Amino acid sequence: MPAASGKDYKERLKKMKPEIWLNGEQVKDITSHPAFSGVIESKAKLYDMQHDPLLQDLLTFKTGPDGNRAGTSFMRPLSKEDLEKRRFAAQEWAKTNAGLLGRSPEYMNTTVMAIGTAYDFFSDGSRKFGENARSLYARAMEKDLCFTHTFINPQVNRSVTYFEDSEEVIAAQAIKETADGIVIKGARLLATQGGMTDEILVLPSGGNFIAESYIYAFCIPADTPGLRFICRESFSYSQNEFNHPLASRFEEMDAIVVFDNVLVPWDRIIMFQNCEKAMGMFSEMHFNALLLHQVLSRQIIKTEFILGVAQSLAEAIQVEEYFHIKHKIADIILGLETFKALLLASELNAKQDKRGTMVPEVNALDASKMLYAKLYPSYMEILQQIGASGMISIPQEADFLSEISSDVHTYLQAASMPAFERVKLFRLAWDLSMSAFGTRQTQYERFFFGDPFRLATGLYNGYNKEPYVKRVNEFLSIRN
Ligand X SMILES: Cc1cc2nc3c(=O)[nH]c(=O)nc-3n(C[C@H](O)[C@H](O)[C@H](O)COP(=O)(O)OP(=O)(O)OC[C@H]3O[C@@H](n4cnc5c(N)ncnc54)[C@H](O)[C@@H]3O)c2cc1C
Taking the C-alpha atoms of residue 240 and residue 248, their distance in angstroms, rounded to an integer, is 7
Taking the C-alpha atoms of residue 347 and residue 128, their distance in angstroms, rounded to an integer, is 34
Min separation Cβ 89 and ligand X, Å: 22
Min separation Cβ 147 and ligand X, Å: 10
Residue 192 sits in the site that holds ligand X (CB under 6 A): yes
Judged by phi (left if over 0) then psi (alpha if -120 to 50, else beta), residue 147 lies in: beta
In the three-class reduction of DSSP (H, G, I as helix; E, B as strand; rest coil), residue 85 is classed as helix
Contacting ligand X within 216-275 (CB under 6 A) = 254
Min separation Cβ 438 and ligand X, Å: 12
Cβ 301 vs Cβ 98: under 8 Å: yes
Which letter, b or e, does each residue of 309-333 get, where b requires 16 or more Cβ atoms within 10 Å of its Cβ?
Answer: bbbbbbebbebeeeeebeebbeebe
Q: Of 147 and 305, which CB lies nearer to ligand X in the complex structure?
A: 147
Kindly tell me which residue out of 417, 450, 458, 459 binds ligand X, with binding defined by CB under 6 A: 450
Contacting ligand X within 41-100 (CB under 6 A) = none
Residues forming a β-bridge with 69: 62
Q: Of 77 and 438, which CB lies nearer to ligand X in the complex structure?
A: 438
Q: Using CB under 6 A, which of the segments 120-128, 217-225, 448-456, 469-477 binds ligand X?
A: 448-456
Q: Of 192 and 435, which CB lies nearer to ligand X in the complex structure?
A: 192
Q: Of 43 and 422, which CB lies nearer to ligand X in the complex structure?
A: 43
Q: Please, what is the angle between helix 37-49 and helix 80-95, to 10°?
A: 140
Residue 110 sits in the site that holds ligand X (CB under 6 A): no
- Supply the DSSP symbol for 6: H
Amino acid at 70: A
* CB atoms near residue 141 (< 10 Å): 24
Min separation Cβ 69 and ligand X, Å: 28
Q: Of 199 and 347, which CB lies nearer to ligand X in the complex structure?
A: 199
Interface pattern 270-299 for ligand X (x via CB under 6 A): ------------------------------
Number of residues that bind ligand X (CB under 6 A): 21
Min separation Cβ 224 and ligand X, Å: 17
Min separation Cβ 193 and ligand X, Å: 7
Cβ 207 vs Cβ 159: under 8 Å: no
Q: Of 400 and 448, which CB lies nearer to ligand X in the complex structure?
A: 448
Residue 453 sits in the site that holds ligand X (CB under 6 A): yes
Counting every residue written for the chain, the total comes to 480
* CB atoms near residue 91 (< 10 Å): 18
Cβ 58 vs Cβ 88: under 8 Å: yes
Kindly tell me which residue out of 241, 447, 456, 458 binds ligand X, with binding defined by CB under 6 A: 447
Contacting ligand X within 359-398 (CB under 6 A) = none
Min separation Cβ 255 and ligand X, Å: 9
Q: Of 72 and 442, which CB lies nearer to ligand X in the complex structure?
A: 442
Kindly tell me which residue out of 114, 136, 190, 359 binds ligand X, with binding defined by CB under 6 A: 190
Count of helices and strands (H, E) across the chain: 18, 14
Cβ 249 vs Cβ 275: under 8 Å: no
Min separation Cβ 3 and ligand X, Å: 23
Contacting ligand X within 407-446 (CB under 6 A) = 440, 443-444
Residue 191 sits in the site that holds ligand X (CB under 6 A): yes
Taking the C-alpha atoms of residue 110 and residue 97, their distance in angstroms, rounded to an integer, is 19
- Supply the DSSP symbol for 417: B
Taking the C-alpha atoms of residue 437 and residue 272, their distance in angstroms, rounded to an integer, is 37
Q: Of 83 and 202, which CB lies nearer to ligand X in the complex structure?
A: 202
Taking the C-alpha atoms of residue 423 and residue 381, their distance in angstroms, rounded to an integer, is 19
Contacting ligand X within 137-166 (CB under 6 A) = 148-152, 155, 158, 160
Chain residues binding ligand X by CB under 6 A are 148-152, 155, 158, 160, 190-192, 254, 440, 443-444, 447-448, 450-451, 453-454
